[in-house]
Structure 1
Amino acid sequence: MRPRPWLRALLFGAASCLCLCTLPAPAAGADAPAATPSPDAVEKAQSLFKKGAALYEGKRYALALEQFRASYAAVASPNSRLYIARCLADLGEHTEAYLEFDQVAAEAAARAATEPRYAQTEQTAQLERDELARKIALVTVAVARPDAAISVSIAGKDVPRERWGKPFPVKPGKTEVVLRTRTTSIPQTLDLSAGEAKTVKLDPEEPGQAGAADGGPALLDEGPSLPEEAPSARAYLRPYAYAAGGVGVAGLAVFTVAGLMANSTYSDLAESCRGPCPIERKDDVDAGKAQQTVANVGVVVGALGLVAGTTLLVLSLTGGSAGEPQRNAASTQLLVGPGFAGLRGTF
């Protein structure tokens, strides 16, 4: 874990002194030693490192990063690079910082073989790298046949061949891994959480993994597509048809109820009066007439509603696309007589 603030400050001072003491030493990369730096280069690197250290202590990480990078360019010291990684981490560039810590550890390990003082730098870089891994996700791509692959990219970044099979840092969330060959690409999407590490095994010659030659996923040939049936230009009439049909059904329901009530009233009057009803039964006679009127209105409303609903429904189902003439027109007609009501239509 990262040291506490007071301990970190103590370590910072110690590391700064160590860095300034080791800058004159021969600079070396991870693989081969480099020429001994000149005194002027050492002096420049020390000056830039001091400026970077002061800026870092003041939490001005972006400016400190510039100074540490300039110091490392003058004399390639693993200690300068360690602070480059720390600046990136404090700036929120976690994936870049992880890669930088990894390079610091490798470079310090190579220098420690002849300069043991860099062993502490290696251990510090490894500890801070592993602590940073809790905030990101790590993807390891294992390529079955590396010679058949051209490139590997993770989250849109090309992964150097020397990092194949090693953890590569990505931001938590959805990440796309793409393995490319000369003719195909093999994509795979991962959903990773912070602190998660996952290994992806890809074989460029395994059947069924090949994608499109231009880097996109392969698309299956499903044959010629069938033309979609264009919706009727009068489909908007369907809700009105349902509404009119509902009114028609309600009207017929009123006709049925009111008709039954009227028949019941007239039957009662006919049985009790047995001829013209006396004046005291006038209210019952008026009620029967009102019930008959309601029944008549109900049958008319019901018939009209059903006619309108049927007409609109037929038009919504048979109407062609916009501008297309209709060859067969639907026609309906309401028939209402003294003792009946009905529909007549042609289709």
Structure 2
Amino acid sequence: MRSRPWLRALLLGATSCLCLCTLPGPAAAADDAASTPTPDAVEKAQGLFKKGAALFESRRYALALEQFRASYAAVASPNSRLYIARCLAELGDLPEAYLEFERVAEEAAARAKTEERYAQTEQTAHLERDEIARKIALLTVTVARPESATSLTIAGKEVPRERWGKPYPVKPGKAEVVLRTQVTSIPQTVELSAGEAKTLPIDADPSAPDGDAGLLDEGPLPPATAGPSPRAYLRPYAYAAGGVGVAGLGVFTIAGLMANSTYSDLAESCQGPCPIDRQDDVDAGKTQKTVANVGLVIGAIGLVTGTTLFILSITGGGADEPQRSATSPELLVAPGYVGLRGAF
């Protein structure tokens, strides 16, 4: 359900006020690598942040991104960086937004050691990063003998060396990985889906004696042993349907005999149209005939269904049957439903 515009505006306003309040003030503690910002820098950063928040609320994310980046350049606040990551996410650059949320979390965690107000920023960054992770893929490239490598690119972007061996966000689909050395380049292609995480080992010096240590020869596969049919779960339904069929035929037989007996008695005693006082017997005969017909239909359907399900339950090999692909149709049997499911 979409939130009401006034509620969205209220929440954004409250968040913006909180972020403005947590921007470093003139007396804020300095980072290890930067001096305390001046009052003019703080005032400038707050003004830019307000403009960015207004643009973000009006969904002009590209312009808002410029304001938040300018605010962060004036005063390096994790809250400005949080909105930089949000703008990137809204603009569809999910891998870069993922990386930015990680930077926000790291920066906020460092600042929270002396300024508790940034603890909430760290938690928010982790939550929004994890939400993005469901829409992208994470690829971890482990490099053996990294001293022989000069660069690593994933999906066309160069990965900093300190990031090697850590999950790197990429868009779902085919990702091109290239590890370069001083003498050659080693390309790899990985297929990834949304929400998937994979690890790709690459040896920067495959000519080394143990360069192919990651490829282990496990010998021939053991002979496959026969296993139960993958459709064995259909057998109870087959027995149940067969039981219904037998019961239906039993009803047909009994009701049919009763109807024949009733009609024979009426034909013998009435010798033509029956008087009004025998109407109850006539109605009973009609009911018995209807019950017999219904029993015959149910019996036939039950036996056909039971036979079909039993045959399905014993067909299809065990271990020697090829694995069914995701696009193959499959039989679904559930209470009150029998059908096929498949992808096209």
Q: TM-score range by the shorter chain?
A: 0.5 to 0.7
Q: Kindly indicate whether the alpha-carbon contact (under 8 Å) linking 1:26 and 1:37 is maintained by their aligned counterparts in 2.
A: no
Shift of 1:73: 0.6
Q: 2:91 aligns to what?
A: 91
Normalising by structure 1, report the TM-score: 0.55
Q: Work out whether 1:204 is the aligned partner of 2:201.
A: no
Superposed displacement of residue 150, structure 1: 1.1
User: What TM-score does the superposition give when structure 2 sets the normalisation length?
Assistant: 0.56
List gaps (5 residues or longer) in structure 2.
212-344
In 2, Cα distance between equivalents of 1:140 and 1:4: 37
The AA in structure 2 aligned to 1:110 is A
Structure-1 separation of matches of 2:65 and 2:159? 24
**Whole-Å separation in 2 of the counterparts to 1:69 and 1:27:** 20
In the alignment, the residues of structure 2 paired with residue 85 and residue 47 of structure 1 have an alpha-carbon distance, to the nearest angstrom, of 19
Counterpart CA distance in 2 for 1:4 and 1:145 is 52
The residue that corresponds to 1:37 in the other structure is: 37
Alignment gaps of 5+ in structure 1: 211-347
Which residue number in structure 2 is paired with residue 20 of structure 1? 20
Q: How does 1:1-347 map to 2 (within 5 A)?
A: 12-23=12-23, 24=25, 25-26=28-29, 28=31, 32-207=32-207
Distance 2:203 2:113 in 1: 37
CA distance in 2, matches of 1:4, 1:98: 25
Counterpart of 1:190 in 2: which secondary structure?
Answer: strand
CA contact (8 A) 1:27 1:77 kept: no
Amino acid at match of 2:151: S
Aligned partner of 1:200: which letter? L
DSSP-derived class of the 2:134 partner: helix
Task: Give the fraction of aligned pairs with identical amino acids, expressed as a percent.
Answer: 75
1:140 CA displacement: 0.9
Write the distance in 1 (CA, Å) between the matches of 2:138 and 2:54: 33
The verdict on how the C-alpha distance between 1:27 and 1:15 changes in structure 2, with shifts beyond 3 A counting, is farther
Q: Measure how far apart 1:9 and its partner are.
A: 5.3
1:299 corresponds in structure 2 to: none
Displacement of 1:8 in angstroms is 6.4
Q: Secondary structure at the match of 1:35?
A: coil
* Contact 1:27/1:75 (8 A) holds in 2: no
| Cα 1:4–1:121 shift into 2, 3 Å | farther
Amino acid at match of 1:54: A
Which amino acid in the other structure matches residue 148 of structure 1? S
Check whether the contact 1:45–1:75 (CA below 8 A) recurs between aligned residues: yes
Shift of 1:27: 5.4
Q: Distance in 2 between matches of 1:153 and 1:4?
A: 40
* Separation (CA, whole Å) in 2 of partners of 1:21 and 1:125: 18
| Residue 206 (structure 1) shift | 2.8
Deviation of the 1:7 alpha carbon: 7.6
CA deviation string 1:234-267 (max 9, x = no partner): xxxxxxxxxxxxxxxxxxxxxxxxxxxxxxxxxx
